[in-house]
Structure formats: C-alpha cells, structure tokens
C-alpha cells in the first residue's frame, strides 16, 4: 500500500503546493497542525501509524523531510523505524529515499538526511540563541521588563496573547492537554490555566 502524507501548520494554510502528482496512491493524508506534534500523534498521522501496525504500509511519500517530525531526533526516529520495517520513504524535495526499489538501504540518502537534519536543528538553535541575546541586550538597555510585582493581568489581555490564542485554537480542534503542551512548547499547567479562563468566559 502506498500513502502520500502532507502537513501544514494552520487551518488557513493552503497545502495544494504539496498535493500534486497523486496518481497511484492508495491513501492521501493531509494534517493541518503544528510540526511540534509528533507524527503519529497527529490526526492523520495516527492513521498512517495504524497502517504501519497492521503491516499494510509499503511506501510513504512526503513533500519534504520536515513533514516527519519537529526536530532532528524525531525525524530520525521515524526514518529509522520505517526503514527497520522495510517501509520505503520517498521524499520529493529534495528527491531521495531510505530504500532503493530493490529494498536495499540507500546509503547516500542516509548521509544526506543526517546532514539536512543537523543543519535544520542547528538553525533553530541559532534562532533561539539570537532571541536570548536580544532579550539580554534589551534588559541591559532597560527596554525589557517583566510584569511588575503584585500586578494582575486582565482576562482579555491574557486570552489575546499569541500563546493563549494557539492553545485556544488547539482546544477547539480537539487536541488533548498533553498534545497542546507539546504543540505550544509550554507546561501542562499553562494549558490548564488558559482552558479554565477561556471556558469561564
């Protein structure tokens, strides 16, 4: 069985760029959720996992390698798991695969995957590092301030924060508290707080 899998981050994003040349596939799955959610915990990703567990999936095609996971480790885990189960992964952009058509491991693609994943992970770390440096600089210049002691944030302001809005969106989409925490990179208590405040309105 051959499956094509795509993902975009939000409901209003168009995934038509990924969904082309789909002739010959038994299933076409398209998730609209953050890449922070592990592949097999996404709504359509769960269906892919079911086909794997049932021994039906033979080939999984994706538009790009980052569709498989949120970081280097998660991408490599999925890649290795499917390779060990002799499930062929075909990546379109760039064009490479884990197994050749005769079932042998594609050594060049393994090397290429590792390099691409490391570069992507390094780039994310550099972005976070620059953000930290920017905050540190702003603190020195007196431009960065946290909330003053004993001040209280209004409900409206709390719920309109970007992170609160992402949590509310995921709550509406039916994700679990744990999935939302992973998706929004925050603690379970933060998700529970937003949920409680939101539901009280």
Helix, strand or coil, per DSSP, at residue 142: coil
Structure tokens at 93: 């952009």
Region 2-115: CATH code = 3.40.50.1390
Per-residue confidence (pLDDT) for residue 1, from 0 to 100 = 94
pLDDT confidence tier of residue 37, bands split at 50, 70 and 90:
confident
> Of the given ranges (8-17, 35-44, 125-134), which has the lowest mean pLDDT?
8-17
Distance of CA 172 to the CA centre of its chain: 18
Instruction: For residues 38-55, give the mean pLDDT.
Output: 94
Is it the case that residue 57 has pLDDT exceeding 80?
yes
Asked about 30 being catalytic, the answer comes back as no
Is it the case that residue 151 has pLDDT exceeding 70?
no
pLDDT confidence tier of residue 35, bands split at 50, 70 and 90:
confident
Using the 8-state DSSP alphabet, how is residue 97 labeled?
E
DSSP states of 8-68 as a string? ESSTTS--TTT----TT-SEEEEEES-TTS-GGGSHHHHHHHHHHHTT---EEEESSGGGG
Distance of CA 7 to the CA centre of its chain: 8
Domain boundaries, the chain: 2-115, 155-200
Is it the case that residue 146 has pLDDT exceeding 70?
no
Is it the case that residue 52 has pLDDT exceeding 90?
yes
pLDDT confidence tier of residue 149, bands split at 50, 70 and 90:
very low
Among residues 9, 30, 120, 200, the one annotated as catalytic is: 9
Q: How confident is the model over 58-74, as pLDDT tens digits? A: 999 998 888 888 777 77
């Amino acid at each position: 069985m051959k499956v094509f899998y795509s993902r975009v981050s939000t409901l209003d994003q168009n995934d038509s760029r990924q969904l082309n040349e789909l002739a010959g596939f038994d299933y076409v799955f398209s998730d609209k959720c953050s890449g922070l959610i592990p592949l097999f915990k996404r709504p359509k990703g769960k269906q892919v996992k079911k086909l794997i567990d049932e021994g039906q999936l033979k080939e999984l095609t994706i538009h790009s390698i980052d569709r498989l996971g949120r970081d280097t480790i998660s991408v490599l885990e999925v890649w290795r798991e499917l390779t060990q189960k002799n499930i062929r992964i075909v990546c379109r952009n760039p064009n490479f695969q884990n197994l050749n058509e005769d079932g042998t491991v594609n050594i060049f693609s393994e090397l290429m995957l590792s390099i691409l994943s490391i570069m992507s992970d390094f780039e994310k770390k550099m972005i976070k590092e620059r953000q930290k440096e920017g905050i540190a600089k702003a603190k020195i210049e007196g431009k960065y301030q946290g909330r003053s002691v004993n001040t209280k944030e209004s409900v409206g302001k709390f719920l309109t924060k970007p992170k609160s809005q992402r949590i509310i969106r995921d709550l509406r989409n039916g994700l679990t508290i744990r999935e939302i925490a992973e998706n929004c990179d925050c603690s379970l208590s933060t998700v529970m707080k937003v949920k409680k405040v939101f539901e009280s309105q």
